[in-house]
Amino acid sequence: YMFLKTNEKMACGLVVASRSYADFTPEATFDIKKVDLHRLEEGPPLTATLTREEGLKYYRTMQTIRRMELKADQLYKQKIIRGFCHLYDGQEACAVGIEGGITLSDHLITAYRAHGYTLTRGGTIREIMAELTGRRGGIAKGKGGSMHMYTKNFYGGNGIVGAQVPLGAGVALACKYLGNDQLCVSLYGDGAANQGQIFETYNMSSLWKLPIIFICENNQYAMGTSVERSAASTEYYKRGDYIPGIRVDGMDVLCVREATKFAADHCRSGKGPILMELQTYRYHGHSMSDPGVSYRTREEIQEVRSKSDPISMLKDRMLSNNMASIEELKEIDIAVRKEIEDAAQFATTDPEPPLDDLCSHIFANDQPFEVRGATPWTKLTSTS
């Protein structure tokens, strides 16, 4: 009996393996939600083509972000992660969709809900988790923490509300100056959308026709106040006034990808900036110190999870069009969980950076030099 059962399991495994090469649909086209337009004659297409490889890649990345954030929540509650910590679960389609519409040679800057973008921009799970726990193997050597992570062409992780937007315009100015056909994506939230510096940046970017995509990730509640109570106009995609804008379903990875491709083409053709509003939702509170249920109900969160979850939406599309099997997606889930557990183990055992490293990396390429400590008689050395 055991022999038969084993053979049966092996046969099932072979069936799943063989299906992955022969029987799956290699590509499918889906209807996507029409976007709202501002100062534009036409917008992104109403259909999106997804290959099986893209679907599996998007699924794995979104699932990795989700599981990584849930692990961060757990480590925070165990007091292993300290300080500020803003989680991205619920908004995965934004990061993955944006990356699907640009290239890694383009530039991106965001606010402090940055873990997902650090991953999509090329950071590893181990580096991100170790940075959250303040360890030497972290992506910023354990000196940045949750809000300050960087990779090539990714400028953080910025802790000051809205301050990253003018910095993004500076990056876009460099792209234009160098004439390299690159662009900058500058992200901010619905709370930051009321900042004066953002409107100043709109003005400069429009005057200079900078290749910048302004993206408002509207997750409805800023730091804990609904958009209706904090903004006289909740049509964030129209806030640029003289800058064209589009409002997009930020829970659908394909909608976000097609809108980003459209916006990137607009910028690269020399038409200047464009504004995107992604209507999305965060499952956690604003930060780990916010339980997230004093200004909204648990039922509301549950309803969004059940009807609009970005991972479930992609999974359903793939399964209903025979682009993947349930077993295959479960295998991805198991592999992702193992990867997260391994990274968490590393993040809790890796040593903290020594005091000698405190002043290092002030400059990228420079000779070591002396830095005065907290008192005149303490001296530290800075190395690049």
At 207-240, the pLDDT tens digits run 999 999 999 999 999 999 999 999 999 999 999 9
Calpha distance 45→1 (Å, rounded): 56
Residues 73 and 170 in one domain: yes
Inside any domain, residue 15? no
Within-domain flag for 9? no
Residue 228: inside a domain = yes
- pLDDT for position 373: 86
CA end-to-end span of the chain:
65
pLDDT confidence of residue 21: 53
Domain presence at residue 20: no
Does residue 11 belong to any structural domain of this protein? no
Is it the case that residue 6 has pLDDT exceeding 90?
no
> What's the one-letter identity of residue 84?
F
pLDDT reading at 17 higher than 80: no
More confident residue, 187 or 10: 187
Residues 209, 308: one domain? yes
Whether 18 maps to a domain, the answer reads no
Residue-level pLDDT at 364 = 85
Please write the tens of the pLDDT for every residue from 148-184: 999 999 999 999 999 999 999 999 999 999 999 999 9
At residue 57 the predicted structure's pLDDT band, cuts being 50, 70 and 90, is very high
Question: Are 368 and 315 in a shared domain?
Answer: no
Distance (Å, whole) CA 31 – CA 109: 30
Residues 177 and 292 in one domain: yes
Query: Cα separation of 221 and 350, whole Å?
Result: 36
Co-location of 241 and 370 in the same domain: no
E-only strand ranges, 80-221: 107-109, 184-189, 212-218
Mean pLDDT for 39-65 is 98
Based on the domain organization, do 149 and 97 belong to the same domain? Answer: yes
Residue 35 lies in a domain: yes
H, E, C per residue of 77-92: HCCCCCCCCCCCCCCH
Task: Check whether 384 has a pLDDT greater than 90.
Answer: no
Domain span including residue 376 = 355-383
Q: Are residues 223 and 372 in the same domain?
A: no
Residue 76 in contact with residue 83, Cβ under 8 Å? no
Give mean pLDDT, residues 12-41.
79
Do 92 and 141 have their domain in common? yes
Of 141, 145, 159, 91, the residue nearest 120 (C-alpha): 91
Give dist(CA 81, CA 49) in Å, integer.
40
Q: Is the pLDDT of residue 308 over 90?
A: yes
List the CATH number of the domain containing 276: 3.40.50.970
Does the residue 103 lie in any domain?
yes
CB distance 243 to 39 below 8 Å:
yes
365 shares a domain with 333: no
Q: Is the pLDDT of residue 7 over 50?
A: no
Q: Could you tell me if 333 and 374 lie in one domain?
A: no
Indicate the DSSP class of residue 154. B
Q: Residue 22: its pLDDT value, please?
A: 66
pLDDT of residue 376: 86
In our burial notation (b when 16+ CB lie closer than 10 A, e otherwise), range 285-294 reads: bbbbeeebee
The 10 Å Cβ neighbour count of residue 173 is 17
Q: pTM for this structure?
A: 0.93
Alpha carbon distance 355, 379 (integer Å)? 11
Same domain, yes or no: 232 and 253: yes
Residue range 58-75, pLDDT digits in tens: 999 999 999 999 999 999
- Structure-model confidence comparison of residues 366 and 279, the more confident one: 279
Residue range 92-102: mean pLDDT, rounded:
98
Give the chain's domain count: 2
Indicate whether 82 pLDDT > 90.
yes
370 and 256 in a single domain? The answer is: no
